Structure 1
Amino acid sequence: MSSELVRLGRKRALPSCPNPLFLEWLTELRDQAAEKGLKTQYVYQKALSSLKKYPLPLNNGKEAKILQNFGDGICKILDDRLEKYYRVNGPDAPIHSLPSGVQASGHCSTNLDPSKASSNTQELPGTSGGDHKKTQKGEVRREKGARKKRGYVPQKRSGGHAVLLTLYRHSQVPDSKGFMFKNELQTESQPLCDKSFTVPDLGSKYTAWASVGTLIQRDLVLKTHNPARYSLTELGLVVAEQLESGEREEKNDQKVEEEKREGGEAVECPDTVDLTLDDDDHDDEGVSGRLAKRPSPVGPTEESPTEESQAVEHGEAAARGILLPGCYEIILCVDFIETTGGNTAGKPDLVTELQKNGVTFDIRKLNVGDFLWVAREQVAPDPGQLRPPTVRELVLDYIIERKRMDDLCGSIIDGRFREQKFRLKRCGLHKPIYLVEEHGSAAAHLSLPESTLQQAIANTQVVDGFFVKRVQDVKESAAYLTIMTRYLQKLYTNRTLHCRSRELEGDGPRGAQVSCSLMSFTEFNHGAVKSKCQTVREVFARQLMQISGLSGDKAAAILEHYNTVNSLVRAYGQCASEAQKEKLLSSIRYGKLKRNLGPALSRTVYQLYCTKGPLS
């Protein structure tokens, strides 16, 4: 009786996970979905997190429905796998612990019953050799059953393999910033991968970039900030070092094989060594060698090395994010809204005029501005490939916002005018232009007086610092775009262009002109998305610009002192009196002339953020 009381009173320590089979199966499902780039990987990950927190054992998938993030689909998958597991291992197979002879996938590593195996080993105690062999086989089977799961290593020449190697090599470069943006990571990883990072294969919608999600899920790569920055974790650094060492060993092996082949040729033809040559032969060989090495004045022997060296030079420059002179063309990009949609008056005429003038242009979606220019890399199509090769595009520093008088009137009334100017200033291009079509006396029939519109145009040029070009109609707009395109084509004739990141202004090589250090079009257009996730600072700036009389320059000046609403409210709380709170922002200077913000605007901002209840 006492022994039974002791048995009942003992506390059995629960395993780290009471449901290891379910945990293994869900992990496998998540990894398979991540490899294919499916969004169901996040569903499985949430279910895994819930399962890890649950401290009690589950007997089937239906019982798991009480857990968070477990739906009918996941529960049915677990029940199907559990049924298959029982068919293979028997109805009494344990599911709350993993025996050494049973693998998580439901397969048994040995067909022998452990009791029978142990009895067989004791049949011939006198035969040490047989006993040793049977014991050794048993140990092998136990080791095979208890084998640890191999760490994740991406396949060679895959997207994950290329990304890890690129991040590792980038981290080893002196003065490295410690992270890479998506665009530069894709560009530098492409030579190490057989699959494209930007264009999916025929019949598939996934690129090599989909494997980055697996690396993040496996805690090998860390993704932070917006725009995203990618860097290696501690575990990722270890795996990348292993991949790099494997690459070096493979290169060394190839080098040794080449040396062996060269040595074999020398052994087979010993008479080619200088043992049989005398002085006369040396002279003859020298003359003939000099004649053979001398390039012929005319013919392909003179041109071939030059073309090959140029191709190699161009490939190396493209890999470093550089476009050499003669390897790119300047193209005008037109927002598709300027050709269709909205007020279509005169829009088809613009495209027609550009075609008449012989301007090379491309219609695409621009997230900010109506016209801009890109330097597009010239790449010859591969005859063996169905899709055209991926080309690099760098955005020139000039961007144009086109405004008709009626559009200007409407944008001032609904508040879009100030927001557009604010976004143009923050788009990363240094020379924004406003193209205003006056259309004669058309402004006389608009909702706002013509004097108000003219004042808004003048403020855009004088206060906001934009270059304003006034034209009469669509034909003059097309003429201006034509002249600008030809001017830029001439300006960039012999320029070497360097790709820079929007996050790091001026991160191009030293000595390069500012106009030659340009953003890629992909990064520029992605960074200009209107509905993208915004930081607290950006939301605060948009709030301030909703106040009447508070322009973008004034908002930027306030953000230099108080970059969030919280910091501004704390500053108000430290003021001694109400009058001091109202004048807190009055002495802040803004714009090129460094004028004071003024007491009236300072009082308005204070009332907006510190008045309880509605404003009177």
Structure 2
Amino acid sequence: MPNSEPVRLGRKRPLPSCPNPLFLKWLTELRDEAKEKGLKTQYTYQKAINSLNKYPLPLRNAKEAKILQNFGDGICKILDEKLQRHYRENGEAPIQSLTSRAPPPGGADNNSSAPSKKTNATEEPTKPKRGGGRKKNREYVPQQRSGGYAVLLTLFRESQIPGGKGYMFKMELQSEAQLLCDKSFTVPDLGSKYTAWSSVSTLIQKNLVIKSHNPARYSLTEEGLSLAARLQSVEQGTRVASEFHSEEAEEEEAVGEAVVDLTVSDEDDDEKEEGRTDPTERLTCATKTGSGVEERSPAGKSQASQAASKKLNGGCLQPGTYEIILCVDFIETTGGSHHCKQELVKELQRNGVNFDVRKLSVGDFLWVAREKLVPVPGQLRAPVGRELVLDYIIERKRMDDLCGSIIDGRFREQKFRIKRCGLRRPIYLVEEHGKAASHLSLPEATLQQAIVNTQVVDGFFVKRVQDVRESAAYLTVMTRYLTKLYQNKTLICRSRELEGDAEAEKGEGGTPFCSLMSFAEFNHGAMKNKCQTVREVFARQLMQISGLSGDKAAAILEHYSTPQSLMTTYEQCASEAEKEKLLSTIRYGKLKRNVGPVLSRTVYQLYCTEGALS
């Protein structure tokens, strides 16, 4: 048999070139641009490219392309604009004769043939799926000063602290990482919905960061630890080089000067010292004496001071650098009895109280320590200072409002949320209004008993006043008292998930300090309609039962955190009597009393009775 010729696979005849190369080029650029930004419009452009490649006739303008599939008004308008710009720059040359000017979308050189152009234009989006490109095998390294870069470095430095916890909470991580990132972790750029925190999902997908527990805890994997260590070495090398050049310049300027003014270069020295020292080794904030010369912390500093200073999330507020401001919930100034609410505002203004009306997620009044910042010349808006929430929060109630809140269930729910908001000094401000309580739906004795229970059982400080004017007077006195109380204290920002300092401790030079939450974290954490866990929903369900208070619900949750765990325990009981008494011996509150058989039976009937309850 004669030797047969080898079989050739593939097309015997090359595909014809696209008769509309400029339109193909522009659509390919639009698709690639949308792909880089992660937009879904890349698939729309790809469908238009496929339709254009199948069309064998030349198009004189984009309006004629409307007859093709996947060419809508939006795409045609974009192509028309590009075509008019092309005519202005190159004249009225026929667009079909510019095949050589259209660069291939696949990255080949300009001398490649038209068939290869078509193949690249239609197949490029599917290359990553087939795993043949080099991008898939390339290691992910975040760009310097980006969100992922800042998160990796911050978690790495936290892991290097001797005896550290090895993880960070979200608010804590955002505040620490913000110092290493040019983009905000909380506020998106203009025209975008993404922040620097959006890069954390990429780090989790790349198996560099682990997210666990609730509230979420973030820590590094082995791969993330290795990558972060390399980023840290590069960061230190860059820092050392910049310091070396800055020190050389300072030495040249200091030649021939016999006297050095320490107050002039105080800020620069502080910045250089921060650059030389790893953030995990900084023990305290720098303090300044009356002469303006910086003093460093002594070597024999107490462990309590070291622990407190390691909680510096975004720095601290030194005495004299902040002011105490009363925050008033906007509901207290609008709606309802408008005259009485405006009278409160007028009384505060008349008393010279520095207050701010804003939306509070819980409570009616609280106080913040706001950083004092000088407006920048030439800048439209004044810079916004940091705000730390003091440990005092007030819930204001008129007798008629107290009556209504007891009837509709808001009374217990509001107290429960205030006790869990993270502030340690809750205050209940009750406006009695003389004999007005005698005309309400509930007996006055019931209302008075509710007020006493709030003070004795729930641990609130109850302040009784007669009217709005006395309420404004009490708020004025409290504002001035807190201003004096905190005027000599160094305030340290802490995360809500971390244990704060219950009492102010002594820092450097005998200056007391205390740790407080930021206002943004407090208000977000106290939101009523935020995304809730199963445990939180279970607690709300239990508190709907008559007689089951927040303390009792919290005690039950310590033993059974979800309805499933409670139902599983019910199934393991041997008899109905044992099921009914399952929760009766659980102890709650400060006095460690039992929940009791009545409530235990009620909970059992609620979750285990089929059909309607009798």
Contact 1:498 1:508 in 2 (8 A): no
Aligned residue number for residue 107 of structure 1: 107
Give the stretch that moved more between structures: 432-441 or 177-186.
Answer: 177-186
Contact 1:583 1:599 in 2 (8 A): yes
Alignment of 1:49-60 (within 5 A): none
Q: Residues 583-609 of structure 1: CA distance to partner in whole angstroms, max 9, x if unpaired? A: 222222222222222222221112112
Aligned residue number for residue 551 of structure 2: 553
Contact 1:227 1:527 in 2 (8 A): no
Residues 574 and 595 (structure 1), Cα distance of their counterparts in 2 relative to 1, 3 Å cut = same
Cα distance between partner residues in 2 of 1:534 and 1:362? 29
Aligned residue number for residue 77 of structure 1: 45
Which sections of structure 1, spanning at least 5 residues, go unmatched?
8-24, 34-39, 45-72, 88-102, 114-144, 273-288, 296-300
Contact 1:500 1:508 in 2 (8 A): no
Alignment of 1:117-196 (within 5 A): 147-148=134-135, 150-196=138-184
Q: Residues 123-154 of structure 1: CA distance to partner in whole angstroms, max 9, x if unpaired? A: xxxxxxxxxxxxxxxxxxxxxx9754644433
**Which of residues 466, 470, 478 is equivalent to 1:476?**
470
**Which of residues 458, 461, 480 is equivalent to 1:464?**
458
Give the residue type in structure 2 aligned to 1:523.
E
Q: Secondary structure at the match of 1:363?
A: strand
Give the stretch that moved more between structures: 311-320 or 196-205.
Answer: 311-320
Structure 1 residue 476: deviation in Å? Answer: 0.5
Contact 1:582 1:602 in 2 (8 A): yes
Aligned residue number for residue 352 of structure 1: 346
Cα distance between partner residues in 1 of 2:253 and 2:399? 81
Structure 1 residue 437: deviation in Å? Answer: 0.6
Aligned residue number for residue 374 of structure 1: 368
Q: Residues 544-571 of structure 1: CA distance to partner in whole angstroms, max 9, x if unpaired? A: 1111111111112222222222222222
Give the stretch that moved more between structures: 584-593 or 366-375.
Answer: 584-593
Aligned residue number for residue 542 of structure 2: 544
Alignment of 1:562-601 (within 5 A): 562-601=560-599
Q: Residues 172-218 of structure 1: CA distance to partner in whole angstroms, max 9, x if unpaired? A: 22233333334333332333333444455667776544554554565
Contact 1:375 1:394 in 2 (8 A): yes
Contact 2:370 2:386 in 1 (8 A): yes
Q: Secondary structure at the match of 2:482?
A: helix
Cα distance between partner residues in 2 of 1:336 and 1:348? 11
Cα distance between partner residues in 2 of 1:235 and 1:86? 47
Contact 2:313 2:495 in 1 (8 A): no
Cα distance between partner residues in 1 of 2:193 and 2:578? 60
Residues 550 and 146 (structure 1), Cα distance of their counterparts in 2 relative to 1, 3 Å cut = closer
Which sections of structure 2, spanning at least 5 residues, go unmatched?
8-29, 56-102, 114-131, 274-285, 289-293, 295-308
Cα distance between partner residues in 1 of 2:341 and 2:607? 44
Cα distance between partner residues in 2 of 1:264 and 1:357? 57
Residues 236 and 384 (structure 1), Cα distance of their counterparts in 2 relative to 1, 3 Å cut = farther
Alignment of 1:408-447 (within 5 A): 408-447=402-441
Structure 1 residue 77: deviation in Å? Answer: 2.6
Q: Secondary structure at the match of 1:399?
A: strand
Give the stretch that moved more between structures: 223-232 or 599-608.
Answer: 223-232
Cα distance between partner residues in 2 of 1:27 and 1:530? 43
Cα distance between partner residues in 2 of 1:592 and 1:411? 26
Give the residue type in structure 2 aligned to 1:161.
Y
Aligned pair count reads 486
Structure 1 residue 496: deviation in Å? Answer: 1.6
Cα distance between partner residues in 1 of 2:327 and 2:426? 15
Residues 217 and 547 (structure 1), Cα distance of their counterparts in 2 relative to 1, 3 Å cut = same
Structure 1 residue 612: deviation in Å? Answer: 1.6
Is residue 491 of structure 2 the alignment partner of residue 503 of structure 1?
no
Contact 2:587 2:593 in 1 (8 A): yes
Structure 1 residue 510: deviation in Å? Answer: 10
Give the residue type in structure 2 aligned to 1:171.
S
Q: Structure 1 vs Structure 2: percent identity of aligned residues?
A: 67
Residues 254 and 347 (structure 1), Cα distance of their counterparts in 2 relative to 1, 3 Å cut = closer
Aligned residue number for residue 613 of structure 2: 615
Contact 1:31 1:214 in 2 (8 A): no
Structure 1 residue 464: deviation in Å? Answer: 1.6
Cα distance between partner residues in 2 of 1:265 and 1:509? 48
Cα distance between partner residues in 2 of 1:515 and 1:263? 38
Residues 391 and 205 (structure 1), Cα distance of their counterparts in 2 relative to 1, 3 Å cut = farther
Residues 509 and 454 (structure 1), Cα distance of their counterparts in 2 relative to 1, 3 Å cut = closer
Aligned residue number for residue 285 of structure 1: none
Contact 1:85 1:106 in 2 (8 A): no
Give the residue type in structure 1 aligned to 2:144.
K
Structure 1 residue 578: deviation in Å? Answer: 1.9
Q: CA RMSD in A?
A: 4.1
Residues 171 and 32 (structure 1), Cα distance of their counterparts in 2 relative to 1, 3 Å cut = farther
Contact 2:406 2:412 in 1 (8 A): yes
Q: Residues 370-417 of structure 1: CA distance to partner in whole angstroms, max 9, x if unpaired? A: 111111122223335444334221111111100111111111111111
Aligned residue number for residue 95 of structure 2: none
Aligned residue number for residue 479 of structure 2: 485
Give the stretch that moved more between structures: 252-261 or 342-351.
Answer: 252-261
Q: Residues 458-505 of structure 1: CA distance to partner in whole angstroms, max 9, x if unpaired? A: 111122221111111000001111111111111111112222221122
Q: Residues 58-94 of structure 1: CA distance to partner in whole angstroms, max 9, x if unpaired? A: xxxxxxxxxxxxxxx665232235568999xxxxxxx
Q: Secondary structure at the match of 2:396?
A: strand
Contact 1:396 1:515 in 2 (8 A): no
Bigger Cα Rg: 1
Cα distance between partner residues in 1 of 2:250 and 2:523? 53
Contact 2:495 2:517 in 1 (8 A): yes
Aligned residue number for residue 121 of structure 1: none
Residues 604 and 348 (structure 1), Cα distance of their counterparts in 2 relative to 1, 3 Å cut = same
Aligned residue number for residue 241 of structure 1: 229
Q: Secondary structure at the match of 2:492?
A: strand
Cα distance between partner residues in 1 of 2:245 and 2:266? 30
Contact 1:394 1:520 in 2 (8 A): yes
**Which of residues 517, 520, 536 is equivalent to 1:519?**
517
Alignment of 1:278-357 (within 5 A): 292=258, 301=261, 304=264, 313=286, 321-357=315-351
